[in-house]
Structure 1
């Protein structure tokens, strides 16, 4: 099922302070037996977008979600309630439940992503041509980047084209200059970067779909050299918390922006605790074209914008727990 069809949130009834929506989780968008955390969050984001569609604040600006229980392949309900409506922002709370059990609780801030053209005249921005502006952190243009496949444990891996970034991967090697020593200040960590896009040309990027892309990067244990993850069997990395800050609206498809591909860059600095708690910081960038298509032109990086940044906390647990959750 196409991702756009797998986000099948339908309005059911009005509340005094919000609305109730219902839908059905699709089995293709799972990690093993459990719906992907980003996919689950996308259902909540979509429900809230529907609620805010006719309001002065139609765009999600910030989302924080807490995953209390693993979602299952069954019908779900999203209850969206208004917390506060101000001049510039609207605050919502939204809970996704299945079988009367709350699976995810979230707080969302809505506003306007695309400001009027004259609104930023006196606003400080870290955007090109500022020398402080961050640029897309991937080395290769999507037309030339070497291909790779997403992990097979992502049931939806065949739905995507993806690339690899050998320069970023090499920074994770044991002999990389980035490895820390007794005299190192800061440093360390593991990085990951790919271009990733829907294969089906009927798919398009959406604000809701960015939640999925925010939860698609490989977790830190899988980026470690094999000798540093001895004893780690087939594992599941369930998301416990996921926060997304939306930076820009998705540009219309053009000669400088793809309508179904994004750049994904993530960085992990810490992995510790009895259950292997690990953090992940992720950036989602526009792409100048789809993977294997288009031409690399001078200045293409200056045309790209960061669509969203996310942070999350995940665990390391045996894959058997994932399989058991899928049978509940």
Structure 2
């Protein structure tokens, strides 16, 4: 089966009009959770269709994508129907629907433009170091010193990836951590997670489309809770299907260099709410560049200031038994 870069593949089929085109592809079984394709991977396929739809225009870069997962996708051929809703001076709005067996599985609204201000822009807007208001890389340990972490989730794609979770966040989530709340607390609560994440195939490259998969591969709030707080839920026996997901593309992906790895990123996520119906929970995630692959490179002064956040994502997901995952796949 294909590594991620090749698994995110669509080809042009037909174009009834210049503003409406159809693309097709095959969902790769390696990129599944249990029996159902990973939601971020399926969204990446829809985004790739949008990227190809916009390739010959001035608005070639995805800027923002909002998606609704109407029905779980299956490991089978698919089509993506892309339609231009509006062309403006700065942005193009698209509607993209991923279809299998004549049923819409995902519907998305995409905004395309130019990711990053052109050099000729009158104002160069941005918030980055050395500004004290700028968001800084949230991971504590350089990838060269990070310790690889075991993956306990039912992910079929484990052979293609590896990660090293940040021990500082594990400590922050403990029951006796100062981050825990009480009746006197104002705000607070929730859990955090972070890790360096690497695509292991040497030929892999981070792309705008693959950011959707990266933004959907993390440990969520139900998985991070201590056993006493989970109400009997066992993360390794639970499916967390995505219902809605939005991705904001913040900056161009830097070319490979001694400062930026081509296939490793930093992931940081937070989750705050979890409850009925169906174990519904929220997630916020940041995708950062990485200075090197895991166990490679060397920590040098100022390495953090070279790293940028290339995307953020939010989603609403459910908590369902893995048996539901298998039954959904059997019906599709």
TM-score (norm 2): 0.96
1:238 aligns with 2:241: yes
1:252 aligns with 2:249: no
1:14 aligns with 2:15: yes
SS in 1 for 2:170: helix
After TM superposition, list the pairs within 5 Å mapping 1:153-302 onto structure 2.
153-233=154-234, 234-302=237-305
1:106 aligns with one of 89, 108, 115 = 108
Structure 2 unpaired stretches of 5+: none
SS in 2 for 1:147: coil
How many angstroms does 1:228 deviate by? Answer: 1.2
How many angstroms does 1:164 deviate by? Answer: 1.5
SS in 1 for 2:143: coil
What value does the CA root-mean-square deviation take over the aligned residues?
Answer: 1.1
CA distance in 2, matches of 1:296, 1:252: 20
How many angstroms does 1:179 deviate by? Answer: 0.5
Partner of 2:96: 94
SS in 1 for 2:261: coil
Q: Summarize deviations over 1:54-96 as a string: whole Å, max 9, x none.
A: 1000000000000000000111010000000000000000000
SS in 1 for 2:48: helix
Q: Summarize deviations over 1:211-230 as a string: whole Å, max 9, x none.
A: 00000011211100111114
Partner of 1:324: 327
CA distance in 1, matches of 2:189, 2:152: 25
Contact kept? 1:149, 1:157, Cα under 8 Å: no
Partner of 1:49: 51
How many angstroms does 1:114 deviate by? Answer: 3.2
How many angstroms does 1:274 deviate by? Answer: 2.3
Contact kept? 2:69, 2:105, Cα under 8 Å: yes
CA distance in 2, matches of 1:36, 1:320: 16
CA distance in 2, matches of 1:124, 1:41: 30
How many angstroms does 1:150 deviate by? Answer: 2.8
Q: Summarize deviations over 1:240-260 as a string: whole Å, max 9, x none.
A: 000000001110000100000
Contact kept? 2:117, 2:124, Cα under 8 Å: no
How many angstroms does 1:124 deviate by? Answer: 4.0
1:314 aligns with 2:323: no
Moved more, 38-47 or 220-229: 220-229
Structure 1 unpaired stretches of 5+: none
CA distance in 2, matches of 1:270, 1:231: 17
CA distance in 1, matches of 2:81, 2:43: 13
CA distance in 1, matches of 2:283, 2:158: 21
How many angstroms does 1:146 deviate by? Answer: 1.6
Report how many residues are paired. 327
Partner of 1:144: 145
How many angstroms does 1:118 deviate by? Answer: 4.3
CA distance in 2, matches of 1:162, 1:232: 24
CA distance in 2, matches of 1:75, 1:69: 15
1:36 aligns with one of 35, 38, 46 = 38
